Amino acid sequence: MIRTEPARLRLWIALLLALAGGLLLDAAAPSLGWWWAAFPGTAAIVAALWHQRAGVGALVGLVAGAAFWMPHISWLTLYLGPVPWLALCVVMTAWFVLFGLLGAVATRGLARWTRGSRRWLPGVVAQALTVAGLWVLREQVQGSWPYGGFAWGRLAHTQADGPLLQSVSWLGFAGLSGVLAFACALPIAIWFALRSAGRASERRDGRVRRPLLGGIGVALVVLLALGVIPAAPLDSHGTLRVAGVQGNSKSAIFDDRESGAVLQDHLDATAALLDELEASDERVDVIVWPENSAEFDLPGNSFGTYQVRQLAERAGAPILVGSILANDDGTYSNSSLVFGADGPQNVRYDKAFPVPFAEYMPNRDFFHALAPDLVDLVQLEYAAGTRSPVVPIDTDAGVIRAGLAICFDIIFDHQAAAMVADDAEVIFAQTNNADFGRTDESAQQLAIARLRAVETGRALVNISTVGTSAIVAPDGRDLDRLVPFTADALVAEVPLVGGATPALRFGAVIATLWGIVGALGTAMGAAASLRRPSSRPTDPEAQPLKVSKIFV
């Protein structure tokens, strides 16, 4: 039998596909929100690395990663300029480079391991599963390391406004990313297997095509099933009428404002809300303000505390505020506090995932030597919170258990698991997006919050100082939504829910299994490549197909 190299794309075609794939993945996310673009985008990246040598695979990952991340998080330049943006892009793209390298090694090696015709069907499935596992593994690692990671830009995030939204309550974020990657990789595996088969005369048997092409049908059936499945049902045990106040404040770090202006904006917007409620003889059970809405040390601000208490008394409802608090060790906490008519309730939550290089400076001396002016802009050191993300809030509807997430807390799977484990009945996601202006950042964050609502089976109030703000039902529908950069309030009656969805019960296991599949498949592919080196074909019938010159 003549040994042949498995079919792969020529370098220039592969790099063009990688570029297109990265741009399509970005287009699948808000603000464009073309959810369907995630499928050709993922398929293009996977096709570009398929059967490539390790170096080419790494180059494919570099191009795809840069094409995705550079536009996707361009909003970061509005905060600190191009240097931090470029640094984060480099780190995130590095994970794409590793993915491209390992994906190329795995698919190339597994193609040799499954050289026999009887192994073709399990071979292409193994290749597709391995690439999907590597995709999930890349997302999991980038979301945890370094400095706590950045769990942004995941494949599942593209489906916040797509037909597969409900399936996240069964699969979780990692599970949905894995299924999407597998559905895109399987047709690619089939295509390249057919191309490789056509390069040797003994592989031109049409009998091998039928079971392989059947795999495409399997992938479509899986996606269609996920598209029609409803969200996992959970029991509700009452309702809560909740309001969220968007003050439209100048609350960015470098905004020119007077001390107390952000607090006053939210006091005014809340007073306007109460005017409307009283005019229509309506009321709410709890009012939620955004992150940083009460500025520094509201408990130590006697007049500010008095004003908030007066509004809480007028509303007959507690107010959840965001305030910066000083700790005894010199650090600070980005915190949530609850104020009622009698003053602060004995409730506090501290942000669990402060943002490195923004809310604290890791390895300050090292980075100060590289960019002193930028590092000096980060003056306060925020500590990671250790309190439970679920707090009891005493309302006229009874004591409710609210799961809290401050800004980027909402993007981390651990936060969702902790909220549900501590019996959260509803989720309040407070955020301040003012630093990112009218960019895509707030829309991207709301998309993640929408998925999180469905994943946990809880209603979620995503309230921002400037937007994008919305109240999201457990099935992902908007119950109310505000226009960004307007002073306004949203009101909705939401269910109080108990229990855990399959995504929360088994999500960590699913993510681990995907990672194991990716690692094992890569190890098998690498071992096959080392054990069975191949040579270029010399038989005329085994030369690349003339039907297309995109393969080598």
Whole-angstrom distance, CA of residue 131 vs CA of residue 136: 9
Q: What is the pLDDT of residue 391?
A: 98
- Contacts of residues 119-122 at CB distance under 8 Å and 24 or more positions apart, as own/partner, are 120/193, 120/197, 120/208, 120/211, 120/212, 121/211, 121/212, 121/215
- Torsions phi, psi for 134 (to 5 deg): -65, -35
Q: How many CB atoms are located within 10 Å of the residue 369 CB?
A: 10
Whole-angstrom distance, CA of residue 470 vs CA of residue 463: 7
Angle between helices 168-197 and 38-49 (to 10 degrees): 40
Q: What is the pLDDT of residue 547?
A: 38
Whole-angstrom distance, CA of residue 115 vs CA of residue 122: 11
Q: What is the pLDDT of residue 265?
A: 97
Task: Give 398's Cβ-side CA count (13 Å radius).
Answer: 8
DSSP at 198: T
- Tens of pLDDT along the chain (552 residues)? 445 678 899 999 999 999 999 999 999 999 899 999 999 999 999 999 999 999 999 999 999 999 999 999 999 998 778 988 999 999 999 999 999 999 999 999 999 876 655 567 788 899 999 999 999 999 999 999 999 999 999 999 999 999 999 999 999 999 999 999 999 999 999 889 887 776 544 444 455 566 556 667 777 888 899 999 999 999 999 999 999 999 999 998 878 889 999 999 999 999 999 999 999 999 999 999 999 999 999 999 999 999 999 999 999 999 999 999 999 999 999 999 999 999 899 999 999 999 998 899 899 888 888 888 878 888 889 999 999 999 999 998 899 999 999 999 999 999 999 999 999 999 999 999 999 999 999 999 999 999 999 999 999 999 999 989 999 999 999 999 999 999 999 999 999 999 999 999 999 999 999 999 999 999 999 998 887 454 444 433 333 333 356 666
Whole-angstrom distance, CA of residue 454 vs CA of residue 173: 11
Positive/negative CA dihedral, 113, 115, 117, 120: positive
| C-alpha angle 145-463-80 in degrees, rounded to nearest 5 | 50
Positive/negative CA dihedral, 363, 369, 370, 376: positive
Q: What is the pLDDT of residue 551?
A: 66
Q: What is the pLDDT of residue 1?
A: 40
Residues recorded for the chain:
552
DSSP at 534: -
Tokens of 391: 């707090």
Among the listed residues 454, 404, 417, the one whose alpha carbon sits nearest the alpha carbon of residue 157: 454
pTM here is 0.93
- Give the homologous superfamily in CATH for domain 236-500: Carbon-nitrogen hydrolase (3.60.110.10)
Positive/negative CA dihedral, 525, 527, 532, 534: positive
Among the listed residues 547, 538, 545, the one whose alpha carbon sits nearest the alpha carbon of residue 197: 545
Whole-angstrom distance, CA of residue 350 vs CA of residue 384: 7
Among the listed residues 72, 86, 88, the one whose alpha carbon sits nearest the alpha carbon of residue 26: 72
Q: Which amino acid is present at 380? A: L
DSSP secondary structure letters along 18-78: HHHHHHHHHHHSTTT--GGGHHHHHHHHHHHHTT--HHHHHHHHHHHHHHHHHHHTGGGHH
Beta strand 390-395 with 478-481 is unpaired
For 254-317, what is the HEC assignment? CCCCCCCHHHHHHHHHHHHHHHHHHHCCCCCCEEECCCCCCCECHHHCHHHHHHHHHHHHHHCC
Q: What is the pLDDT of residue 78?
A: 86
Whole-angstrom distance, CA of residue 143 vs CA of residue 511: 12
Tokens of 363: 């390895």
DSSP secondary structure letters along 407-475: GGGGG-HHHHHHHHHTT-SEEEEEE--GGGTTSSHHHHHHHHHHHHHHHHT--EEEEESSS--EEE-TT
Q: What is the pLDDT of residue 114?
A: 66
Quote the distance between the C-alpha of residue 388 and its chain's center. 22
